Chain A
Amino acid sequence: MASDKELSDFLKSVEKRAFKRAVYAVRNEESALDIVQDSMIRLAEKYADRPAAELPLVFQRILSNATMDWFRRERVRSVVQNFSEFSPADDDGDFDLLEALHAVDGSLGTESAYDAVSRTQILGAIEASVADLPGRQREAFLLRYWEEFDVEETATVMGCSQGSVKTHCSRAVHALAKALKAKGITL
């Protein structure tokens, strides 16, 4: 059973990323805060007796479900949301990922070449590109590379096969690289 301190430390470590993940999905900070709060409370009420090691997977699953619940409620309210579950056309097969990697590396790793304003703009463009990803690709990308889950854990949280996770992640990285290049992050 996770102690109070373990639960508090876990929530503290994950809350900001959870908030951002929810913002990318719902594109509204207030709603994202509500989703994170609901997820924290669900975790505390129903899974407080679980060992601390199980909390990350359980919490991410709860967060995904809470986000889906939010979309269901929004659909009922007839609010138009762009949450397509389908991938865009895979026309980026010949996209040069290495070139984009050089571009991102140069943009983020060389503070002397860019002032703080342009850096903030680059970070903002990256966030916007992540938010523009299709839902499943974004979820796979964030769980796999931001939460640093392995493929199996990501598949468990998403409720899909490991092959699907790999496909979603690959497409997400390519889509992000292409979008960033289109936004001029190739300076």
Chain B
Amino acid sequence: MTPHSLHIAPVSHVALEARMAGRLASALTECSAALPHEVSERLRVARDQALSRARKSRLAIASTAVSAAGGGTAVLRGGPAGGSGLPKWLSALMPLALLLAGLMLIGQLNVLEQIQVAADIDSQLLSDNLPPAAYADPGFAQYLRKGPAP
């Protein structure tokens, strides 16, 4: 026992173990701080390699996300379909299918518009004071051609 040793008050067994472990860990830290230059250099190189791999890994994750989000655009451009996972022939047909779908939609809208116009005419005729049957009357047609009497 050295005269410089600390006087330790009675403590629990667990606390004693923790204190002992702390001293030993401190000694190990001192050992690890004094590594040879070659080892430190090799660790630095390993760290740099790991960081480089991490960058590549992040780029791969980001590019996967971008290709997933922009898959439709790639198809419309007619570019290679390798990234989207669709067969090439299907990718080539996609613009045509979209064009047909658009034309059908426009045609349907025209039909709906015509129906709306016809409905408006019908409602005006039905709500007018003149009954619709009057237009089938030859005398009334003559009256309309000549115009009202002065």
**Chain A interface (Cβ within 8 Å of chain B)?**
1, 4, 7-8, 11-12, 15-17, 19-20, 29, 33, 36-37, 40-41, 43-46, 48-49, 97-98, 100-110, 112-113, 122-124, 126-127, 130, 141-142, 144-146, 169-170, 172-174, 176-177, 186-187
Which of B22, B26, B30, B54 counts the most chain A CB atoms within 10 A?
B54
Q: Per DSSP, are chain B's interface residues mostly helix, strand or loop, or mixed?
A: helix
Count of A-B contacts judged by CB separation below 8 Å:
148
| A33 contact from B4, B43, B51, B61, Cβ within 8 A | B43
Instruction: For the complex, give the distance between the alpha carbons of A139 and B24 in Å.
Output: 14
Q: A19-B35, A173-B17, A177-B20 are in contact. Are A102 and B30 (CB under 8 A)?
A: no
Q: Is there contact, CB below 8 Å, between B32 and A101?
A: no
Of the A-B pairs whose beta carbons lie under 8 Å apart in the complex, a sample of 9, sorted by A's number, is A1-B58, A33-B39, A36-B46, A37-B42, A40-B46, A41-B46, A107-B2, A113-B2, A126-B31
B74 at the interface (CB under 8 A from A): no
Q: Per DSSP, are chain A's interface residues mostly helix, strand or loop, or mixed?
A: helix
Instruction: For the complex, give the distance between the alpha carbons of A49 and B55 in Å.
Output: 10
Q: Is there contact, CB below 8 Å, between B25 and A146?
A: yes
Q: Is there contact, CB below 8 Å, between B57 and A45?
A: yes
Q: Is there contact, CB below 8 Å, between A4 and B47?
A: no
CB-nearest residue of chain B to A112: B4
Besides A106-B1, A170-B17, A172-B21, 18 new A-B residue pairs in contact (Cβ under 8 A), listed by A number: A4-B51, A8-B47, A11-B47, A11-B50, A15-B43, A15-B47, A16-B43, A20-B28, A29-B39, A44-B53, A46-B57, A49-B61, A98-B16, A104-B23, A123-B27, A126-B27, A130-B28, A173-B17
Instruction: For the complex, give the distance between the alpha carbons of A187 and B13 in Å.
Output: 23
Which of B8, B16, B20 counts the most chain A CB atoms within 10 A?
B20
Q: A101-B23, A106-B2, A170-B17 are in contact. Are A12 and B57 (CB under 8 A)?
A: no
Q: Is there contact, CB below 8 Å, between B2 and A110?
A: yes
| A4 contact from B18, B39, B54, Cβ within 8 A | B54
Instruction: For the complex, give the distance between the alpha carbons of A123 and B29 in Å.
Output: 10
> Chain B residues with Cβ under 8 A from A126's Cβ?
24, 27-28, 31
Q: A33-B39, A100-B20 are in contact. Are A127 and B1 (CB under 8 A)?
A: no
> Chain A residues with Cβ under 8 A from B27's Cβ?
104, 108, 122-123, 126
B96-116 interface with A by 8 A CB criterion: none
